[in-house]
Amino acid sequence: MTTEPIYLDHNATTPVAPEVADAMEPFLRDHFGNPSSSHALGRRARAAVDEARAEVARLIGATPDEIVFTSGGSEADNMAVFGVVAARAPGRRGVVTSAVEHPAVLEPCRVLERQGTPLTVLGVDPAGRLDLAAAADAIGPGTALVSVMHANNEVGTIQPIAELAELCRDRGAWLHTDAAQSVGKVPVDVETLGVDLLTVAAHKLYGPKGIGALYVRRGHEIPRLIHGAGHERGRRAGTENVLAIVGLGAAARLARAELDDRVAHARAMRDRLRARLGERFGDLVVHGDPERGLPNTLSVALPGVRAADLLAALGDQVAASPGAACHADGIAVSSVLTAMDVPLDVATGTVRLSVGRTTTGTDVDRAAAVIAAAVEAG
């Protein structure tokens, strides 16, 4: 009989919440209509899509017509990066981003750079936070887009997006933020942040994989990334994935209802985990800024340990992610830790532990004990 590992990798993906699975089930079995069809089955599917769109909008303080469903966070990021640059005036094509972005933003930016788009990649401080003064210097009259994530997936650092939005407005640049890691974990409101575009990924907030959304502020038009028929009001071709869209809507509804409790619970579990590890390892190195970052994320370097070896030793007892990957030709340190100037010996010992809505105190205590035993045995 196998025992499920203690799951401390919620920033990689979350389990589908039972409430979300229940909402999706009828659309897997019975409600199979195409939402573009005019008959009863089609109208039922269309109503479900519309309700899900409204739920996503409510969660982030938007209006339903500002929500475009995508195949996930990566497509939403690509749609934002390529779309904004294509939409702006010929003399305004520059892109500004940060060195700690997810590849779904950095790679499209690099593609544009190879095609001749001016690209500025901003560095970050040791906590992983960008310097607003450096951003102000980088954003000029030729800047089309600034794309900076709301919260970092590895160390949990939350960026000063509202302040960055003011800089962008003053200089005429559009601001996109990848909020895949923050939506459902902390309050996210597009008006408070002041962003023009924002990415959501369902599988980061207890919804299914393969579905996401891009918020596009009303009055901002960007060309479609996927061409075909006029789905999503002409903004993204392809028959809507009703099953997954319903799941995202249910996940958004659940997140809105639970958000305050989620924040408090995550912070309590993360701090408990940090305390338990601290009792066993006095010289822990904690990355990022836990007090002002995501409440569920603990990026920690264990003394004298290679994270890849530790996670291998943990086997199926604890599920987590390393800060560096070992290969035959050496060690590849995460680009985030590299941008934060984390020393190699510290980066190779870094483990990302991320708790979730169902993580218990018992889980945390057991995980800390298992990790300590593996380190002592190794």
| Rg over CA atoms, the chain | 21
- Of 293, 280, 271, whose CA–CA distance to 355 is shortest? 271
**The residue count for the chain:** 378
Residue-wise DSSP of 1-28: ---PPEE-BTTT--PPPHHHHHHHHHHH
Bridge partners (DSSP) listed for residue 330: 327
Q: Are 285 and 337 in contact (CB under 8 A)?
A: no
Burial (0-12, 13-18, 19+ Cβ within 10 Å), 233: exposed
Dist. CA 371–CA 4, nearest whole Å: 16
φ and ψ at residue 177, rounded to 5 degrees: -130, 135
Question: In sequence order, which residues have a C-beta less than 8 Å from that of residue 345 and are 6 or more positions away?
Answer: none
Dist. CA 109–CA 288, nearest whole Å: 24
Catalytic position from the list 119, 226, 326, 370: 326
Question: In sequence order, which residues have a C-beta less than 8 Å from that of residue 187 and are 6 or more positions away?
Answer: 259
Percent helix, percent strand, percent coil in the chain, to nearest 5: 45, 15, 40
Q: Are 363 and 271 in contact (CB under 8 A)?
A: no
Q: What is the bridge-based pairing of β-strands 318-319 and 6-7?
A: parallel
Burial (0-12, 13-18, 19+ Cβ within 10 Å), 318: buried
Dist. CA 51–CA 106, nearest whole Å: 33
Residue 326: active-site member: yes
Residue with token string 């601001």: 175
Neighbours of 16 (CB within 10 A): 18
Q: Are 308 and 350 in contact (CB under 8 A)?
A: no
Q: Which residues are catalytic?
A: 326
